Structure 1
Amino acid sequence: MTRVLLVDDQMLIRAGFRTILDSEPGLEVVGEAANGAEALERAMRLEPDVICMDVQMPVMDGIAATRELVARGCRAAVLILTTFDRDDFLFETLDAGASGFLLKTAEAEKLIEAVQVLGRGDALLMPEVTRRVLTRYAGTQGAGAGRGAQTPSELTQREVDTLRCLARGMTNAEIAAELYVSTETVKTHVSNILAKLGLRDRVAAVIWAFKHGIAA
């Protein structure tokens, strides 16, 4: 069972999300919060697997709350939900440690899928988001085609290959097919990458790859 905490200053929005998620087998909404400060308290007490977080809220916004959750060692994956499709929100939330980004205008099935993905321990970085990350870092950070790249000595060549595939927005199954290995081997490579580079999740790994110029 994937435990979910809903964070939004609008009660009707929370009620709608609860109805959608509670109707899906394997998902359970265990709590709600109306601002980032409440989210911090309830996340540490309820220990959810996934936190659906609004951005603009009183007292403490979603970006500040996400950053503080990460600093406190909260292991819940944060899914940012917003009505604003803005690059500044996207990059601030990713830099803060969010594991996914979804517009509130998305279909109910997309919300369910996003929560399920994060609940499995994966991260939600859709191809269109990956392209925007690349646009942000290309040129200024040396990303793309390995220009000026320095392969991290901590990683094996197979782990570097896996990291490049992650930066292309590929799933574990797609990476396995690309590298001719099993999905279990891919999971091991991803775990090793995160541990060796001190990264929180796959989103952080993608950003790291672009920033350090090893994204293919």
Structure 2
Amino acid sequence: MIRLLLVDDHTIIRDGMQALLADVADLQVVGQARNGRELLDMLVDTPTDVVLMDLNMPELSGFDTVPLLRQQFPEVRILILSMLDHEKYVHQVLEAGALGYVLKNASKEEIVHAIRTVGAGRPFLCTEVGLALLQKLVQAPPAPAGPGVKKPSDLSNRETEVLKLIAEGLTNAEIADKLFTSKRTIETHRQNIIEKTQAKNTAALIKYAMETGLLQ
């Protein structure tokens, strides 16, 4: 069971998200907070695995809360839920210690997958943000691979195929349908690819695919 705490200054967003997740058996919403200050106070006596947090909030914003949360409650994993899709915001909060980033217009399936992924201690970047970063990378010159970076030949044929589809912006469910396999199998392939390429998130996987010539 993943214990989830919702943080957003809009009650309708918090209540809507709690209602959206009510029928997900392995998720439990343990509380709601209106800003980072309330969140930090609640975490003192509210056992929590994942914080699903907005960025633009009064008193203590998500931007300011992330580093404080990492310092005071390092065991709590942070998933940002925001309408801000600019790469600088994504980079800022991931560098500060957030483990995942998903947009508010994402589907229920993607939000649930994001919570489960972050809850398991793995990084997550939503498809729309990943595609935006991909468009930026298309114009960037390839960087030489360092000695610790795996080559495409280190991936199996199926892993290479899955990586190409990830780089094209497909979700795990869409990849599973395309390759006629289960979503769980794709999640396993994805994790193997992350470990082999040493990529930290979906954006890094897309960059890897570009630099190694896997995405034409």
So what's the TM-score if we normalise by structure 2? 0.65
- Tell me how far apart the structure 2 counterparts of residues 148 and 199 of structure 1 sit (CA, whole Å): 15
What secondary structure is seen at the aligned counterpart in 2 of 1:170? coil
The answer for the alignment partner of 1:116 in structure 2 is: 112
Aligned to 2:206: 209
Kept in 1: contact 2:134–2:206 (CA 8 A): no
CA shift for structure 1 position 78: 0.6
Change (3 A) 1:65 1:150: same
Match of 1:76 in 2: 77
The CA RMSD over aligned residues, in Å, is 4.0
Contact between 1:2 and 1:116, CA under 8 Å: does it hold in 2?
no
Equivalent pairs counted in the alignment come to 200
Q: Which moved more, 1:32-41 or 1:66-75?
A: 66-75
The answer to whether the Cα contact below 8 Å between 1:176 and 1:182 also exists between their aligned partners in 2 is yes
In structure 1, what is the equivalent of residue 167 of structure 2? 167
Shift of 1:134: 1.4
Q: Report the equivalent of 1:20.
A: 19
What is residue 3 of structure 1 aligned with on the other side?
Answer: 3
- Paired residues of 2:4 and 2:52 also in contact (CA < 8 A): yes
Structure 1: which 5+ residue stretches go unaligned?
none
Flag the 1:176–1:50 CA change in 2: closer, same or farther, 3 A.
same
Deviations 1:61-94 (A, max 9, x none): 2134345556764463514134x55554345445
- Identify the residue that residue 32 of structure 2 maps to in structure 1: 32
> How far apart in 2 are the matches of 1:37 and 1:58?
9
- Partners of 1:163 and 1:192 lie apart in 2 by 10
- Relative distance call for 1:180 and 1:102 in structure 2 (3 A) is closer
How many Å apart are 1:36 and its aligned residue? 2.3
Q: 1:116 to 1:187 in 2, by over 3 A?
A: closer
Mapped partners of 1:131, 1:205: distance in 2: 10
2:19 maps to a residue whose letter is I
| Identity %, equivalent residues | 27
User: Per the alignment, do residues 47 and 198 of structure 1 end up closer, same or farther by CA in structure 2, a change over 3 Å counting?
Assistant: farther
Structure 1 counterpart of 2:57: 57
CA deviation map 1:99-135 (0-9, x unaligned) = 23223xx4xxx56434422233274623x43331112
CA distance in 1, matches of 2:193, 2:70: 19
The letter of the residue matching 2:203 is V
Q: State the TM-score, normalized to the length of structure 1.
A: 0.65
